[in-house]
């Protein structure tokens, strides 16, 4: 990914030198041309085309905003009920993520969405211990996190 | 009881750069806007303290093998020499001057001797703070 961006910048500079004009606009035109070339050669590159990854990052961001709003509303509903029918619980969630930054990102996303908090990570970085405010079913809770955040993060980190 | 510090360590690796840059920015902003040597030095120390919290004292000592007592002394020396430099030109102690210089890469830059004095202050603050924290936190 970093190599492709570097290549793209290099192409943009080459374009600037070819057209002998050193203005930001020329750089942008060269950069777009470089993008086009990389897009044409995307099958022969050793890693993924980096715009796909950028798109995955944007998707992860929008997913996070969506989950944030929805879970905020659900926690608000819980709090405003006069009987407060909360069922707190702590459960373990095995994760397939391996890199440090992936685990940190997943934990932060889980913690930032109300209703769930990551309490601890096991020593081998394979299991997250999560506290949930309104707990129904362990498999369901794990599945919901798996299908949203973990999938999106895997999509970003796939090389 | 050893806990898993994965999250704080990963976050520290990201945040450290931001605090470091902010410290340098505040140091240079001190001439016209709030900031300066003292605040910049404290922010710099806080970045190193964050490293110490996330990792441990020994690791940070290996990363930054500075003798903070020497850094404090160097800072005091820089401040004193900047202040005493004016005596050489037959003007009162602590007289500051400034001028414009054409530096390579940076172009026309205004350099003020107060900045060198502030550099001394910065180094003294970093040195003293880190000395205190290492002495209290050290468990030899």
A120: nearest CB among B2, B4, B11: B4
pLDDT in tens, A102-139: 999 999 998 888 888 899 998 888 899 989 888 777 77
Per-domain boundaries in chain B: 6-138
Chain A neighbors of B4, CB-CB under 8 A: 120-123, 125
pLDDT in tens, A43-60: 888 888 888 888 999 999
pLDDT in tens, B58-98: 888 888 888 899 999 999 999 999 888 888 888 888 888 87
Residue pair A119/A129 in contact by the 8 Å Cβ criterion: yes
Chain A neighbors of B7, CB-CB under 8 A: 103-104, 107-108, 118, 121
Structure tokens belonging to residue B124: 């003294």
- Beta strands in chain B, from DSSP E residues, in sequence order: 98-103, 107-112
A121: nearest CB among B2, B6, B11: B6
Could you give the CA distance from residue A118 to residue A97 in angstroms, rounded to a whole number?
15
* Chain B residues in contact with chain A using a Cβ-Cβ cutoff of 8 Å: 2-4, 6-7, 9-11
- Beta strands in chain A, from DSSP E residues, in sequence order: 89-94, 116-121, 127-132
DSSP state letter for A87: B
Enumerate long-range contacts of B26-32, CB under 8 Å, 24 or more apart: B27/B118, B27/B122, B30/B118, B31/B112, B31/B114, B31/B115
Q: How many CB atoms lie within 10 A of CB A144?
A: 13
Q: Tell me what the mean pLDDT of segment A18-24 comes to.
A: 88
Could you give the CA distance from residue A130 to residue A116 in angstroms, rounded to a whole number?
7
Chain B neighbors of A104, CB-CB under 8 A: 6-7, 10-11
pLDDT category, B57, cuts 50, 70, 90? Answer: confident
pLDDT value for A112 = 87
pLDDT value for B72 = 94
Rg (CA), chain B: 18
- Residue A71: name the closest of A41, A105, A115, A36 by CA: A115
Chain B neighbors of A122, CB-CB under 8 A: 4
Could you give the CA distance from residue A60 to residue A46 in angstroms, rounded to a whole number?
24
Residue B140 has pLDDT above 60, yes or no: no
pLDDT in tens, B92-116: 888 888 778 777 777 777 788 888 8
pLDDT category, B1, cuts 50, 70, 90? Answer: low
pLDDT more than 90, % of chain A: 29
pLDDT value for B107 = 74
3-state SS assignment for residue B112: strand
């Amino acid at each position: 990914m970093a190599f492709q961006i570097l290549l793209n910048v290099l192409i943009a500079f080459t374009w600037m030198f070819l057209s002998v004009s050193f203005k930001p606009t020329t750089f942008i035109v060269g950069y777009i041309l470089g993008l086009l070339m990389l897009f044409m050669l995307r099958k022969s590159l050793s890693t993924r085309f980096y715009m796909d990854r950028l798109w995955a990052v944007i998707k992860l961001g929008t997913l996070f905003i969506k989950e944030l709003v929805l879970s905020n509303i659900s926690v608000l509903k819980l709090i405003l009920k006069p009987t407060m029918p909360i069922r707190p619980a702590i459960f373990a969630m095995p994760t397939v993520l391996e890199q440090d930054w992936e685990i940190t990102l997943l934990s932060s996303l889980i913690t930032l969405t109300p209703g769930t908090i990551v309490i601890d990570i096991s020593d081998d970085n394979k299991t997250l211990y999560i506290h949930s405010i309104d707990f129904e079913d362990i498999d369901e809770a794990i599945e919901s996190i798996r299908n949203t955040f973990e999938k999106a993060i895997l999509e970003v980190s796939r090389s | 009881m050893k806990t898993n510090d994965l999250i704080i360590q990963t976050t520290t690796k990201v945040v450290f750069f931001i605090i470091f840059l902010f410290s340098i920015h505040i140091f240079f902003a001190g001439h016209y806007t709030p900031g300066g040597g003292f605040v910049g030095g404290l922010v710099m120390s806080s970045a190193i303290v964050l490293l110490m919290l996330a990792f441990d004292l020994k690791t940070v000592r290996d990363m930054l093998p500075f003798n903070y007592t020497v850094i404090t002394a160097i800072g005091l020396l820089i401040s004193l020499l900047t202040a005493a430099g004016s005596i050489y030109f037959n003007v009162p102690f602590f007289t500051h001057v400034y001028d414009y210089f054409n530096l390579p890469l940076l172009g026309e830059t205004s350099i003020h001797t107060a900045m060198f004095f502030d550099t001394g202050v910065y180094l003294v603050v970093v040195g003293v703070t880190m000395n205190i924290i290492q002495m209290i936190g050290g468990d030899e």
